[in-house]
Amino acid sequence: MTDSTDRRVTANLSLTLDGRYHGPAGPGDFGMFVPYVTTEVARDHLARIWEGATTAVLGRVNAEGFLGYWPSVAEDETADPRDRGYAKWLAGAEKVVFSTTLAEAPWDRARVVNAPAADVVAELRTTGEGDILVNSSPSIIKPLLAADLIDRLYLLILPEIAGGGQRLFDDGLPASTWTLTRQETGELGEIAMVYDRVR
């Protein structure tokens, strides 16, 4: 049971129709995702995920990948304003990077943590203000779902069946109820959805 003074924990992820966050060739297999992540609906969805968030939580792989991409978007005056807004937010936000291998943080305003995600996020909830956004990092989202610590899910559902790859919702998760608070469908059949945990 969350206390009303706790910070909200949110998470965003893109999933195929069969619930996968990458394709059968492994964690780098995102080919089927590419046509959908720059649509109007996807960009509007991206602009929503960081509203009210002051902390970004990332796994090491995403932190390093984001570092290679988003800082240049923040500086690019020709970039889509929604992408640029997110990039600037990410640069300025407090970042918590989960890693067992990094010795130092890859970004400014970042710290590296080598501890169970549920323990760290439960502690983060009790200090500071603003939402805690678990940013496209299934390695963190999954243990937080298992611990029932996520209050809002931002999901972009893509009209593709991957047929292989890792799924977000594993068997054995605690039963929970969610309310659909926003839904938007794009021209390619992608659906941006926001679900809030009913507590």
Point out which residues pair with 178 in neighbouring strands.
Answer: 197
Predicted confidence at residue 65, as pLDDT, reads: 85
How crowded is the C-beta side of 13, counted as CA atoms within 13 Å?
A: 29
Predicted confidence at residue 27, as pLDDT, reads: 83
Percent of the chain at pLDDT exceeding 70: 97
Which of 10-19, 57-66, 111-120 bottoms out in mean pLDDT, i.e. has the lowest? 57-66
Element (H, E) at 98: strand 94-98
What is the DSSP secondary structure assignment for residue 179, as one 8-state letter?
E
Mean pLDDT, all residues of the chain: 93
Closest CA to 7 of 43, 73, 53, 76: 53
pTM for the full predicted model? 0.92
pLDDT at 130 over 80: yes
Phi/psi of residue 83, nearest 5 degrees: -65, -40
Q: What is the pLDDT of residues 78-113, one digit of tens each?
A: 999 999 999 999 999 999 999 999 888 878 889 999
Compute the chain's Rg from CA coordinates.
16
> Where do the domains of the chain lie, and which CATH numbers do they carry?
9-197 (3.40.430.10)
What single-letter amino acid sits at 104?
E
Measured distance CA(165)–CA(148) in Å, rounded: 24
Which of 91-100, 104-113, 114-123, 141-150 bottoms out in mean pLDDT, i.e. has the lowest? 104-113
